[in-house]
Structure 1
Amino acid sequence: MIVIQRVRVRWTAAGRGAPEADRRRDLNEPVPLPAGVPAEEVVLHDVLADEAACYQRDATVSGGGFELARDAGFGLARRGADLVIDRLPGWESYPRRPGKQRLFVLKPGEVGRYRTNFRWTACECDQHWSYDEWNVHIAHQTPFVTDGPDHEADHRVHLYGGRRRTAVSRAARGRSRPRPR
């Protein structure tokens, strides 16, 4: 069995400020699977916390074959006992991801985590962007766990433009020098 848990947080431009960011801070963390998960080849647990619904989590569980993963944006393929996971192209969002991207290869009993964020619009004529942040865990022949993954792919970007922020300041890296005047 392959279990995919996709936890998504969605907000609009009005929710970009610090108070809204504080409200959604931990909403993309994995959650326990509900009881009664179907015994299918692929199980998708899709969780959405949308600003439009005051960030109340809405969850669905569905089961099926590899096409279920494709509908969620992932390509799955077997390579012997291993499971190859690709992110399928996405044309409706920024940054555009025109080709499929290899995320990781899971051996039986392993879990992979994929993190991404993007902004998107429903059509070219609509200039009202919304933003998504995803935290996806994929478990291959193992009970789904919310602990640390065996593999990780992090494709998060700076969504609002400008330079990408770094987590470490110059002073912390030991490169703090006075600038020439």
Structure 2
Amino acid sequence: MDIAVQWVRVYWTKNSRGGPGAVRRSALPEAFPLPEAEPPILHEVQMLERDDFSPTMTVTTGLPPRTQAELTETGDGHLHVLPVRDAPEWANNGLDLAWRPEPVTMRPRQTLRWQINHRFTTERGWYYRLDTLNVSYGHPTAEVFLHPPTHRVDERSHL
């Protein structure tokens, strides 16, 4: 499987929800260069408000578990991609939970950027998360996700 997956997850509280905090947060990158590794590769990036949104990264060989994303290669040379809404039931993303976009069908040398956001309630208040799933199918380069994607799905809602 010649697939590279990059999860970019941003976490913040109400402190970064409006004004200067929101401006800083919305300037954060949606994608990062891929580290040098043989596909399949899973590159995970987290940016936390409490760490001033400094990225922390992990790299593993293989694909994300099916509990996070369904990536299915077909016999005719296509890849079907559908992220799993992995937020717990008590999280709110403002979307109709019964409706989901169809999986994206990718051909070799295509890329996908899929975004969805969540609001979580805890005993200390609300916090928010933006998930960006970047997928490259076929011969990923280090800068593959730094270019506009072939496919884009935006499931973000106003929280």
Per the normalisation by structure 2, the TM-score is 0.82
Structure 2 residue 125 is matched with structure 1 residue 135: no
What runs of 5+ residues in structure 2 fail to find an aligned partner? none
Q: Which residues in structure 2 correspond to 1:112-131 (within 5 Å)?
A: 112-121=112-121, 126=123, 128-131=125-128
Q: Give the aligned residue type for 1:59.
A: M
Residue number in structure 1 paired with 2:13: 12
Q: 1:24: Cα distance to partner?
A: 1.6
Corresponding residue of 2:54: 56
1:60 is displaced (CA, Å) by 0.9
2:148 aligned with 1:158, yes or no? no
Structure 2 equivalent of residue 87 of structure 1 = 83
Higher RCO (CA < 8 A, seq sep 6+): 2
Q: State whether structure 2 residue 102 is matched by structure 1 residue 102.
A: yes
- Structure 2 residue 51 is matched with structure 1 residue 78: no
Moved more, 7-16 or 113-122: 113-122
Deviation at 1:101, TM superposition (A): 4.7
What is the CA distance between 1:29 and its match in structure 2? 2.4
The alignment yields a C-alpha RMSD, in angstroms, of: 2.1
Q: How does 1:40-55 map to 2 (within 5 A)?
A: 40=39, 42-55=40-53
Matched residue of 1:22: which SS? helix
Q: TM-score, normalised by structure 1?
A: 0.73
**1:167 paired residue number:** none
Larger radius of gyration: 1
Match status 1:31 vs 2:32: yes
TM superposition shift of 1:32:
0.9
**Structure 1 stretches of 5 or more lacking a match?**
160-181
Matched position secondary structure for 1:139 = strand
Give, in whole Å, the separation in 2 of the partners of 1:2 and 1:12. Answer: 33
Alpha-carbon separation, structure 2, partners of 1:91 and 1:32: 26
Measure the CA separation in 1 of the matches of 2:48 and 2:22: 12
Return closer, same or farther for 1:136/1:89 CA change in 2, 3 Å cut-off. closer
CA separation in 2, counterparts of 1:154 and 1:128?
A: 26
Report SS of the residue matched to 1:4: strand
Cα 1:49–1:82, aligned 2, differ >3 Å: closer, same or farther? same
